[in-house]
Amino acid sequence: MIKVKKYVGLLCAMLSIGALVASCSSEEEMAQSTTEGKGLLKLALNVGTDFQTRAITESNYTNLANYTVQILKEGRVVDGCEWAGDKIPQELIELSNGTYTVLAFTGEDYKDVGATTEGMYVEGSKLVDIDGVNPEVKTVEVNCTPQCARVTVNFDEAMNDYFNDYYVTFTGTKALASGNFTWEKAATDPVYMAVSGAEKLTATIHLVDKDNKIADSVEVSKEVTAGKAWKLTVTPKVKEGSIGITIEINGKTNDYPIDIEIPSDWV
């Protein structure tokens, strides 16, 4: 596993491999003309992430060798139609009539994981109908994107002047179920949370005062979706002798670009 140390964002950074094609049939079969009841297929795979980190090495998500590519029919992999992304044969794919799903993915260890700082699950799929009566060569382009939201918390340094401890617990998504994820005050690694569609994520900010008593807790919620970010900024607020906090939520996908080779910073 790769420990996340620092993060940057990448909005739709794609590594195009053009018209990669493969064959589920033998070369002898392909030498014959396509018969009625079968059709031909070409694959084009775009891989990358909407966001990446420098610690989660960029090449892990743009390197075809790390992807698995499958062609499925009725939920099952078609015989001979599963490859590593960089091992797809160059021949055309000959398939019988029917509806198929072309699926590409990487990071299976993180699929449906409620919250992790170690990595992310990236997937892309596309449906295709094969019609041998009209035997045209169909090109299917699959775009692979993160199946998680990226969450970060930024505590202002001045929090230490007013509180002995402070932390955030996250709850509410289907993948977290009845559990939670705790962001400690010293944490810096972004957290990747599996989400399906639009889900409500709730953050409860816990504050411990200088006497080591629970001073207060504040709850905020936001709708999150895969490939999007939620940055929570917490700063102390002092007014007329009372101490509270100010909360800022930033839900932009990418914020400030910097001059590096592939990604752009999320700050």
Condensed to tens digits (0 to 9), the pLDDT of residues 146-180 reads 899 889 999 999 889 888 999 999 999 999 999 99
- The reported pLDDT for the residue numbered 34 is 47
Q: Kindly report, residue by residue over 71-117, the tens digit of the pLDDT.
A: 999 999 999 999 998 887 777 888 898 999 999 999 999 999 999 99
More reliable by pLDDT, 205 or 247: 205
Radius of gyration of the chain (CA): 23
pLDDT of residue 3: 34
User: Rounded distance, CA 44 to CA 178, Å?
Assistant: 40
Residue 248: predicted pLDDT: 62
Q: Nearest Cα to 30, choosing from 89, 101, 102?
A: 89
Let me know whether 87 and 119 are in one domain.
yes
CA distance linking residue 106 with residue 60, whole number of Å: 9
Do 34 and 161 reside in the same domain of the chain? Answer: no
**Torsion sign over Cα 61, 67, 71, 76:** negative
Residues 118 and 33 in one domain: yes
My answer on whether 116 and 164 are in the same domain is no
Write the pLDDT tens digit of every residue in 118-142: 988 999 999 999 887 766 777 888 8
By residue range, what is the domain housing residue 45?
Answer: 8-146
Statement to judge: residues 137 and 183 lie in one domain = no
- In this prediction, residue 231 has a pLDDT band, given cuts at 50, 70 and 90, of confident
Residue 194 or residue 64, greater confidence: 194
**Side chain identity at 184, as an amino acid letter?**
E
Is the residue at 3 inside a domain? Answer: no
Q: Can you tell me the distance from the alpha carbon of 218 to that of 223, in angstroms, rounded to the nearest whole number?
A: 17
CA distance 73 to 191: 35
How many beta carbons lie within 10 A of that of residue 8, not counting itself? 22
247, 222 Cβ separation under 8 angstroms = no
Q: What is the pLDDT of residue 191?
A: 92
Output the domain CATH number for residue 227.
2.60.40
- Is residue 12 domain-shared with residue 136, that is, in the same domain? yes
Report the distance separating Cα 148 and Cα 226, nearest Å.
Answer: 4
What pTM does this model have?
0.71
Whether residue 156 lies inside any domain: the answer is yes
pLDDT in tens, 183-218: 999 998 889 999 998 999 999 999 888 888 777 788
Check whether residue 112 and residue 157 sit in a common domain.
Answer: no
Domain termination residue (choose one: 146, 165, 196): 146
- Angstrom distance (rounded) from CA 68 to CA 228: 24
pLDDT in tens, 1-48: 333 333 323 222 222 222 223 345 444 444 444 456 777 676 766 665
Q: What is the pLDDT of residue 247?
A: 63
